Amino acid sequence: MVRIDVAMLPAEALAIGGDCFVVVDVLRATTTIATLFGRGLRSLLVVDDLEVARERGRAEKRVLLGEIGGLRPDGFDYGNSPTEVAAASLADREAVLFTTNGTRALCSLAGRGNVFAGAIVNCSAIARVAREFAHVVIVCAGQAGGLRFGQDDFFATGVIATRIAELAPHVEMGDATKLATELAASPARLTAGLRDSEHGRITAALGFDADIAFALEADTSGIAPRVSGSGPGWATLEPG
């Protein structure tokens, strides 16, 4: 039996508990992370502070990726764009990523169990590892640094939960999980759930509509990135 819960904010996940946490920031951090590892990235350091990203990137000779207000910070090699990194040459490289919501959520949950970065683009890979745990919590990274609910993430959790349920012999779903799977069951409703979300509208207004389309494509990455080490304000992910 696999219990699947959805936490609408990272803080809620800490109250639920569980032995497996899947952090979802579908627009766009965890979509970017899955894509990075799909391009052959060896290791990714995620941090919850922009200046720490700069410092560790320089000191450890890592590729710098990230966003502030959705846009690439000055001096960074890449933004937080899955379409951008999908075309990058990153095989056997190491990188550091800072984003407003997703990397903060990963850092806050690192060390509390088995933590993965999930999105629609790697939903099957996530489901294959998650079905082995007794209690899976799929966590919406949210908005405003994880303080506000994000509709886009909630719809994406429904895709992942559905895929786990397809692979696991027996599942039990919490109330939020049931709602998320129902909402994500219709492709048209799923598309609208991302595009019409507040985060989706902001992302499109910044000129990243292609990233939204990319984020809606299931299983373009076969990687389930997993937190392999962590400390205050940082976590290291490796391909799972």
The pLDDT tens digits of the residues spanning 98-157 come to: 999 999 999 999 999 899 999 999 999 999 999 999 999 999 999 999 999 999 999 999
**Structure tokens, 137:** 């919590």
Buried-state track 48-83, b at ≥16 Cβ within 10 A, e below 16:
bebeebbebbeeeebbbbbbeebebbeebbbbbbbb
Length of the chain: 240
Q: What pLDDT, on a 0 to 100 scale, did the predictor assign at position 150?
A: 97
Q: What pLDDT, on a 0 to 100 scale, did the predictor assign at position 74?
A: 96
Tell me if 236 sits within 8 A of 226, measured CB to CB.
Answer: no
Residues 235, 220: Cα–Cα separation, whole Å: 24
Q: What pLDDT, on a 0 to 100 scale, did the predictor assign at position 240?
A: 77
- In this prediction the pTM is 0.97
What pLDDT tens digit does each residue of the chain (240 aa) get? 999 999 999 999 999 989 999 999 999 999 999 999 999 999 999 999 999 999 999 999 999 999 999 999 999 999 999 999 999 999 999 999 999 999 999 999 999 989 999 999 999 999 999 999 999 999 999 999 999 999 999 999 999 999 999 999 899 999 999 999 999 999 999 999 999 999 999 999 999 999 999 999 999 999 999 999 999 999 999 997
The domain segmentation of the chain, as residue ranges, is 2-227
> Is the CATH number 3.40.50.1000 carried by domain 2-227?
no
Residues 27, 203: Cα–Cα separation, whole Å: 8
Q: What pLDDT, on a 0 to 100 scale, did the predictor assign at position 63?
A: 98
